A and B are shown apart, each in its own frame.
Chain A
Amino acid sequence: QQQVKQSPQSLIVQKGGISIINCAYENTAFDYFPWYQQFPGKGPALLIAIRPDVSEKKEGRFTISFNKSAKQFSLHIMDSQPGDSATYFCAPFSSGSARQLTFGSGTQLTVLP
């Protein structure tokens, strides 16, 4: 059973544009919703995360929007820069049951200069 569906698989954006990546989940027990960023040859690193008691969290150019009823959350990158080019993974987590992150399949973002 695929618990996490991430889209799109790849995304190309012009510098200065907005990048939007979506994550849909099935497990209603998830209570922590992080996005990880991975550069080639590196391990993933936490970018931003949200808990379900808020609908939006903003950190600089990065925003998470959370829709509990739709069981979806998304990552918005404003004023996208070439340095944002990386693979992004959503990885929702259930602190009460599962012990490991359930990673989405990843979105390869390319920001053109």
Chain B
Amino acid sequence: GAGVSQSPSNKVTEKGKDVELRCDPISGHTALYWYRQRLGQGLEFLIYFQGNSAPDKSGLPSDRFSAERTGESVSTLTIQRTQQEDSAVYLCASSFTGTSLGGTQYFGPGTRLLVL
């Protein structure tokens, strides 16, 4: 595709349910990032994938959060037993060069998650 795509665009769920968010990066981009953005706030790093290296999970806020990536393709972010404080926009970004050259990150439109 032409850019990073994310699905669903909006998700409303009940407290305690699990949700799965999907990200399709730009083809050929080796690096993929997930961020969380609360209303009116900056972006909070969650997790980073680079090629076949072990992901950097240092930003995941709790063990309820996990993410996977299939090769250099699709990634899914899973939030188990959702809480109201998980309500936010979840943004995915991909880049070609990853860390070494400060590669420009291209962001998707985000998934707006609301936990009731």
Contacts from A to B (Cβ < 8 Å): 6, 31-32, 34, 41-46, 49, 89, 91, 93, 95, 98-106
Most B C-beta atoms less than 10 A away, residue of A41, A44, A102, A106: A44
**Complex contact B102–A95 (CB within 8 A):** yes
Query: Hey, which chain B residues are within 8 Å of A104, CB to CB?
Result: 42
Given A43-B110, A45-B107, A100-B33, 10 more A-B residue pairs with CB atoms under 8 Å apart are A34-B104, A41-B109, A43-B4, A43-B91, A43-B108, A95-B99, A95-B100, A102-B45, A103-B44, A103-B45
**Complex contact B50–A89 (CB within 8 A):** no
Query: Hey, which chain A residues are within 8 Å of B110, CB to CB?
Result: 42-43
**Complex contact B99–A43 (CB within 8 A):** no
Contacts from B to A (Cβ < 8 Å): 4, 33, 35, 40-45, 48, 50, 56, 59, 91, 93, 98-102, 104-110
**Complex contact B48–A99 (CB within 8 A):** yes
A109 → B minimal CB distance (Å)? 14
* Interface residue from A46, A89, A100 paired with B59 (Cβ < 8 Å): A100
**Complex contact A100–B48 (CB within 8 A):** yes
The CA of A98 and the CA of B56, in the complex, are separated in Å by 10
* Interface residue from A32, A42, A89, A99 paired with B43 (Cβ < 8 Å): A89
* Interface residue from A42, A46, A106 paired with B42 (Cβ < 8 Å): A106
**Complex contact A43–B33 (CB within 8 A):** no
**Complex contact B93–A32 (CB within 8 A):** no
B9 nearest in chain A by CB position: A41
Sample 7 A-B pairs with CB under 8 A, ordered by A number: A34-B104, A44-B91, A45-B106, A49-B102, A89-B43, A93-B102, A104-B42
Query: Hey, which chain B residues are within 8 Å of A89, CB to CB?
Result: 42-43
**Complex contact A105–B48 (CB within 8 A):** no
